[in-house]
């Protein structure tokens, strides 16, 4: 039996959502078996394809890959994540937005040679400035368009389809922390995103599809798709000390102060997760635009391709409830439990970066 690529993503998302019924499932990526984005309806053990390729080219993984190619990064799938990471170092501009919107709607469906020609003309129309700031501005503007298109699409679908209990995001684009966080705020119901929404979760999704959708047997939930066993506090402290690091107890004031001056903060609790940037039990935070935040450190903090502008520190009960049964865990998005005073301090501390990726 062969399970379609998109169906694997969708099944994985449904499982992480606890098979809430009915659920609206959006898979979004660079390319699947039959589309770049697909909308499914899950209800009582059945997964139905509603439509596909309804998002504009800049609302899919193709947009990120295309910009990465235009910037000279090649066409490897990881290029999309690299460009998402650059978006945190600048702000959107009207100039770039207008330039993107002038590109043809059918860009993703064109031949390779025609795409090359259009992207070459696109970059040429923006002038000869090849600075990091300008490149990051292109990425930040694409992020703005991407987020708006996905959130608008989800809001419209929820309005038009009555009875939606849960919205699920899956596919490689569900690793985009900025968009995920905006969607959580935009939707009136829970948003479930599995820790491995990209192709790292495809095999697991295929197995879940076969068991739930074909055999009618609901797979049991498991501990946030985790691996191995968790280190004790004593073991973690010993490991840190062996590398010349000093462990500290969690203190949101200290964390906010460290981020405000450009330091990178690491936080880990529990077992290791499946997924490249699940950001559930292990996180690194940095504010890219803060003075003193090293570009190389910022790149490492995002797994080489993190997409959020800055990752806020997380504390309280939300950070300790990590299982599919408690789907408020913001995997692949920004947690929101940082104290208001700390958020204010972080926001007023940002400044143009002194470093480069």
Question: Which pLDDT band, with edges at 50, 70 and 90, does 248 fall under?
Answer: confident
Q: Is the pLDDT of residue 205 over 60?
A: yes
Half-sphere exposure of 149 (CA within 13 A, CB side): 20
- Residue 165 in tokens: 């209990």
Spatial separation of the C-alpha atoms in residues 341 and 37, rounded to whole Å: 39
User: What are the tens digits of pLDDT across the range 133-187?
Assistant: 999 999 999 999 999 999 999 999 999 998 999 999 999 999 998 999 999 999 9
Question: Which pLDDT band, with edges at 50, 70 and 90, does 332 fall under?
Answer: low
Question: Which pLDDT band, with edges at 50, 70 and 90, does 290 fall under?
Answer: low
Mean pLDDT of 200-220: 88
Angle at 164 between CA 273 and CA 56, to 5 degrees: 75
Mean pLDDT of 301-305: 34
pLDDT at site 265: 81
pLDDT at site 334: 58
Better-predicted residue by pLDDT, 13 or 333: 13
Mean pLDDT of 8-31: 93
Better-predicted residue by pLDDT, 88 or 139: 139
pLDDT at site 216: 85
- Residue 45 in tokens: 């053990």
DSSP one-letter code for 231: P
Mean pLDDT of 47-63: 96
Contacts of 16 by beta carbon, 8 Å cutoff, 6+ apart: 168, 192, 193, 194, 195, 225, 324, 327
pLDDT at site 276: 65
Question: Which pLDDT band, with edges at 50, 70 and 90, does 326 fall under?
Answer: very low
Q: Is the pLDDT of residue 26 over 80?
A: yes
Q: Which helix (H) or strand (E) holds 193?
A: none
pLDDT at site 123: 94
Which pTM does this prediction carry? 0.75
- Of 148, 5, 132, which is closest to residue 63 (Cα–Cα)? 148
pLDDT at site 8: 95
pLDDT at site 156: 96
Question: Which pLDDT band, with edges at 50, 70 and 90, does 349 fall under?
Answer: very low
Q: Is the pLDDT of residue 313 over 50?
A: no
pLDDT at site 288: 64
Better-predicted residue by pLDDT, 77 or 161: 161
pLDDT at site 282: 61
Averaged pLDDT score across all residues of the chain: 79
Instruction: Report the residue count for the chain.
Output: 357
Q: Is the pLDDT of residue 354 over 70?
A: no
pLDDT at site 101: 97
Q: Is the pLDDT of residue 224 over 60?
A: no
- Of 262, 266, 271, 269, which is closest to residue 316 (Cα–Cα)? 269
Question: Which pLDDT band, with edges at 50, 70 and 90, does 280 fall under?
Answer: low
pLDDT at site 331: 61
């Amino acid at each position: 039996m062969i399970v379609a690529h998109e169906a694997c993503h969708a099944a994985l998302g449904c499982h992480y959502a606890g098979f809430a019924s009915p659920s609206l499932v959006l898979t979004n990526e660079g390319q699947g078996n039959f589309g770049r984005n697909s909308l499914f309806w899950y209800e009582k053990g059945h997964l139905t394809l509603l439509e596909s390729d309804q998002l504009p080219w800049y609302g899919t993984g193709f947009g990120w890959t295309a910009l990465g190619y235009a910037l000279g990064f090649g066409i490897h799938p990881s290029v999309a994540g690299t460009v998402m990471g650059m978006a945190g170092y600048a702000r959107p501009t009207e100039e770039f937005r207008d330039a993107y919107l002038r590109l043809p709607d059918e860009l993703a469906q064109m031949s390779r040679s025609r795409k090359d020609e259009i992207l070459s003309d696109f970059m040429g129309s923006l002038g000869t400035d090849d600075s990091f700031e300008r490149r990051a501005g292109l990425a930040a503007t694409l992020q703005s368009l991407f987020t708006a298109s996905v959130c608008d699409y989800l809001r419209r679908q929820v309005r038009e389809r009555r009875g939606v209990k849960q919205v699920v995001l899956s596919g490689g684009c569900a690793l985009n922390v900025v968009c995920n966080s905006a969607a959580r705020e935009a939707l009136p119901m829970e948003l479930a995103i599995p820790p491995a929404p990209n192709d790292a979760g495809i095999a697991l999704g295929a197995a879940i599809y076969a068991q739930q959708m074909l055999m009618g047997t609901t797979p049991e939930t498991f501990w946030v798709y985790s691996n191995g066993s968790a280190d004790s506090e004593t073991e973690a402290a010993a490991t840190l000390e062996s590398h010349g690091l000093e462990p500290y107890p969690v203190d949101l004031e200290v964390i906010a102060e460290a981020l405000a001056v450009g330091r990178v903060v690491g936080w880990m609790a529990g077992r290791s997760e499946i997924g490249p940037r699940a950001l559930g039990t292990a996180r690194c935070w940095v504010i890219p635009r803060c003075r003193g935040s090293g570009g190389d450190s910022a790149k490492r903090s995002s797994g080489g391709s993190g997409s959020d502008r800055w990752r806020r520190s997380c504390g309280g009960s939300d950070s300790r409830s990590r299982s599919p049964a408690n789907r408020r865990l913001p995997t692949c998005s920004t947690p929101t439990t940082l104290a208001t005073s700390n958020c204010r301090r972080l926001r007023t501390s940002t400044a143009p970066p002194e470093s480069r990726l």
